[in-house]
Structure 1
Amino acid sequence: MKKFLLTSALALSTMSFAQIDFGSTRFGVTAGGNYSRVKNAHNPSGPRFTAQAGALALIPVGKENQFFLQPEIVFFGAGETGKDKDAKGMDGYDAVYANNYLSVPIYFKGYFSEAESEFFGLAGPRFNFLLSQNVKNVPLGRDYYNPDSPASDADINGKASKFNFGIGIGVGYSYKRQLELTATYDFGLSNTYPGLDKEPKGSDKAKSEQVLSVSLSYIFK
């Protein structure tokens, strides 16, 4: 039975790969804005607004003009700030915890029909490689979670992981399969700040990075 299942899985994988038409790949450019946060990391915690920009490939899957693989490579800003609306005036409100990545999402993309202008959905993994971590306006020598105890800069900020990954889902609209507007939500599945596993004080929850993006892409013929 196990041999049958393994053989079936290999056969299906081979058939799926055989349907990918690399020879008809189209390329494009993409840019947009990001709204990001990191759960369970800093206090106060608020959103960071930044940008993304890069290139994509659109690879047909099957003979219909409807399903595609869409790998991308983009500069991708994420992280968080201290701008919690309920924390105005608190130490750390003006803090910025900026994580900038070289990001590689690989989406499976499906248009709702074969029409030239049509809505579409996409989903797939995203792999982020840290390019830089910039932290500023953080009050030093104070532990947010225990003000009576001194803390180092590293204790407060945490070192961002050099690699993290997540799952992205999105919807969009394509105008003549060339100009496309897309909204995506990326949910981090790995720990953004492994060094802050015990922060906020008493918490061992993973520091999950989440990004809501709106982007505009142009795909060349």
Structure 2
Amino acid sequence: MKRVLLGLTLGGSLLINAQEKEKSAASSSPARFGVKAGFNMSKFSSGSRDNAENNEKLKLGSHIGVFVHIPVSEKFSVQPELLFSQSGSKIEEKYMYASAFDGHIIRQEFSYKTNLNYLVLPVMVQYNILPQLYVEAGPEFGVLLGGKTEGDQWTENSYGGTVSTHSESFSNNIPMKLYNRFNFGIGFGAGYSFTQSFGITARFTAGLTGIFNSDYNDNKVRNNVLQVGVAYKFK
């Protein structure tokens, strides 16, 4: 909690300093507000390899929100954003149990995904390589709003020449008390502007804090999110 508050303070200080510099800059480069949206591809990362991480797949999600683009100099600018962003992961697992005594065989397949919804505040420092092309990096602070675990389970029983199958679906809200409400990560990205108002964006954010409370899971599981979308700046 203290680290998150410290990060928010530093981010706020950066924004205030950027605004002060922007005021003293030429009036031909004013701050501009905008909106952005797109899709996410996310996956959990973990320091341990002895878990289901090898079965994890990318989960699709989305992001949408607003931003303010603040020029600091001819090459540099600061862009704070406020976004609703979805992260999480998808897992597919297969098991088979065979009895050496009576020939009983059980096959099971699981496919489920964890959807986590965050309100995030990225503060990106951007550098213009070309007038239309920029690269960016900066911190991202997030607050977990909620989420769900949903998926499908399939079971096949083979015994004495008889085969039976059973399938079911499930959807449950995540137990919030087991999750860390605050998330912190570092983002790296790039963007290209087709016009002065419209452009495309791409950003990868690597999570640094664990998604679970430390007293629940000693193995730190983090969010990794790739965002691709479009942005529009108002005149």
Give, as a single letter, the amino acid of the residue that structure 1 aligns with 2:144. L
Match of 2:70 among 41, 56, 59: 59
Give, as a single letter, the amino acid of the residue that structure 1 aligns with 2:70. I
Contact kept? 1:26, 1:59, Cα under 8 Å: yes
In structure 2, C-alpha distance between the alignment counterparts of 1:127 and 1:74, rounded to whole Å: 10
Contact kept? 2:57, 2:90, Cα under 8 Å: yes
**Larger strand proportion of the pair:** 2
Give, as a single letter, the amino acid of the residue that structure 1 aligns with 2:69. L
Question: Which residue of structure 2 aligns with residue 107 of structure 1?
Answer: 124
Q: Does 1:73 align with 2:87?
A: no
Question: Which residue of structure 2 aligns with residue 47 of structure 1?
Answer: 58
Query: Deviation at 1:208?
Result: 1.3
Identical-residue share of aligned pairs (%):
28
Name stretches of at least 5 consecutive residues in structure 1 with no aligned partner.
Answer: 1-12, 140-152, 199-203
Superposed CA offset, 1:121-152 (max 9, x none): 0110011111112112377xxxxxxxxxxxxx
Query: Deviation at 1:93?
Result: 3.2
Name stretches of at least 5 consecutive residues in structure 2 with no aligned partner.
Answer: 1-13, 96-106, 154-171
In structure 1, C-alpha distance between the alignment counterparts of 2:128 and 2:70, rounded to whole Å: 13
In structure 2, C-alpha distance between the alignment counterparts of 1:157 and 1:39, rounded to whole Å: 20
Match of 1:188 among 195, 203, 207: 207
Query: Deviation at 1:15?
Result: 8.0
Q: Does 1:20 align with 2:26?
A: no
Q: Does 1:33 align with 2:39?
A: yes
Given the two structures, how large is their TM-score scaled by the length of structure 1? 0.71
Question: Which residue of structure 2 aligns with residue 82 of structure 1?
Answer: 91
In structure 2, C-alpha distance between the alignment counterparts of 1:209 and 1:15, rounded to whole Å: 30
Secondary structure in 2 aligned to 1:192?
coil
Contact kept? 1:21, 1:61, Cα under 8 Å: no
Give, as a single letter, the amino acid of the residue that structure 2 aligns with 1:205. N
Change (3 A) 1:214 1:71: same
Q: Does 1:123 align with 2:140?
A: no
In structure 2, C-alpha distance between the alignment counterparts of 1:102 and 1:135, rounded to whole Å: 19
Query: Deviation at 1:172?
Result: 1.6
Give, as a single letter, the amino acid of the residue that structure 2 aligns with 1:132. G
Given the two structures, how large is their TM-score scaled by the length of structure 2? 0.67
Q: Which has the larger radius of gyration?
A: 2
Give, as a single letter, the amino acid of the residue that structure 2 aligns with 1:50. G
In structure 2, C-alpha distance between the alignment counterparts of 1:75 and 1:51, rounded to whole Å: 8
Cα-Cα RMSD:
3.2
Change (3 A) 1:16 1:102: closer
Q: Does 1:137 align with 2:156?
A: no
Query: Deviation at 1:91?
Result: 5.6
